[in-house]
Chains A and B, each alone.
Chain A
């Protein structure tokens, strides 16, 4: 879940309840205020009428445009004494002005005139006005509630997004980070202390990682260097023995096997050195290489060497594939991919090669898919450890592709291992 969605959701959840409670109480207060106001109006109205009654002035007309209505009736002193002086009630009343019964707020007051007779004044205000008012208040509150909710969420989204810019640029930097390559410094263009500290911590970690990466790279290349002389001595001594006189067949055999093992070690060592050279970008000279022609040439050589088991090659050329890259690297790339296909094909089968102007792919029959995430890592060999195999061929392919800006992918389909090298995507990245 994105940070901004989480903030929006939490804010909405809290505000939804909080503003609703607030709105409910606000509404209740408004309603009671309106009721008070109505009662005040009724009171004033009845005072006015009573005053007029007692002073004998003309009573106001009941049909004066308002919906207020009143009437006065005479009551017995017993009736007057049995009830409180002033009563409020909500009930239906017959409106003379409208000639129908309406719900209304009613005020009844008993008063005594100068002759000592008791009268009851009933004043009524139809409640539809009040209801209208309350309804419109309710609507306003609901609309305001929604607007407020949306506004608060929008404002917080904008504010959060704006203030999280340093964080986003840090994330972008992390995404673009490539170990061992030239990386821009961690962006720390902010005056927010926490973000500065975060950027500082990331920079430190990256620096530390770079140092370790360098040390590791150097270690591999130094170790391989240092191994070369002892390996030379080893194989030299075996050679001296082999050239000596009086060796039996058995001894010769053992010595030759020993030397082949030393040769395997030498090859492994050389490949490691080669890889560190590729990773250090030491193959600089580029030329235009026709990969299609290179593949055809290598296929001929490999066909001669590994084609014994009934392996056939089916090559489809859908156009010329020309790239600008180091010639040695091109040869390594094509050679290792093809060799992989030839060596790891099971039984008689067909190696399929497809060349288009953007990519080439090599596929060979296999029984089960390989672990796609590890197939290009060093020394990864699944159930196919071959004597003399370095386990570095495909990682060499990957290193060459990375260096030349190509991309290489592995997939397994219809019982075939497919390795695809795309040249076009890499070109776009390089620009």
Chain B
């Protein structure tokens, strides 16, 4: 899969490029409006990560030109302006997703993956690892084709981990993703452990061959 990173901040561009390359993608980058237009004119990409504020023009203009050219390409808008206006404008112009800075790289990778899956399977998509399949749209988890009933929180935890296989997921980040923004001052993460224990037991009972491993007590990694 070929990805174009359009981002004017050198450091962030490098970082995004490096992280995506590590995931096995082919990555190219553009630092301003003009070079992004050049690259888009000359090559085709599967996915574009688009910053809105660019030297030489707005990323939204780039997006509308792209949509007019009738080419099927996934666009994820990335903006430092965490404003609903930008988000709405971006999505109306045909962006597939929106990510506000600052974001976690793992989050970026997960978004790219889900956007790509969605466009490939015509909207129906699922995550698979080993003999486990997770269908976000129907809230179902299948092990070897058999339904495994999970509670809402257990499902959310598994979905978050399935989108980031092989990555260390900090338990605070996991808690924030599943329980919401307000967990930042929790003294202990007993509520995460409790759900995790049940989830592991259910997966094991169903005969799943994936494993949620604890990493030094800091977080979890889906193997």
Contacts and interface: CB of A to CB of B under 8 A. Distances in A.
A233 B83 contact: no
B185 interface: yes
B185 A388 contact: yes
Given A229-B101, A343-B185, A388-B185, A243 B167 contact: yes
A252 B188 CA distance: 19
B105 A240 contact: yes
B184 A236 contact: no
B191 interface: yes
A339 B184 CA distance: 10
B151 interface: no
Given A237-B15, A240-B18, A243-B22, A232 B102 contact: yes
Given A240-B105, A243-B168, A256-B218, A233 B182 contact: no
B170 to A, nearest CB: 6
Nearest to B22: A243
A239 B105 contact: yes
Nearest to A252: B216
Interface residues of B, number: 40
Interface in B178-223: 179-188, 190-191, 215-216, 218-219
Interface string A212-254: 0000000000000100111111111101101100000100110
B9 interface: yes
Contacts of B216: 249, 252-253
Q: Name which of A225, A233, A252, A339 has the most chain B CB atoms within 10 A of its CB.
A: A233
A231 B102 contact: yes
A234 B190 CA distance: 29
Given A225-B80, A263-B172, A277-B83, A305 B186 contact: yes
A373 interface: no
A256 B12 contact: no
A229 B181 CA distance: 20
A323 to B, nearest CB: 21
A228 B191 contact: no
5 contacts: A232-B103, A233-B9, A240-B19, A260-B170, A308-B187
Interface of B: 9, 11-12, 15-16, 18-19, 22, 80-83, 101-106, 167-168, 170, 172-173, 175, 179-188, 190-191, 215-216, 218-219
4 closest cross-chain pairs (CB), A and B: A232-B102, A231-B102, A236-B15, A228-B101
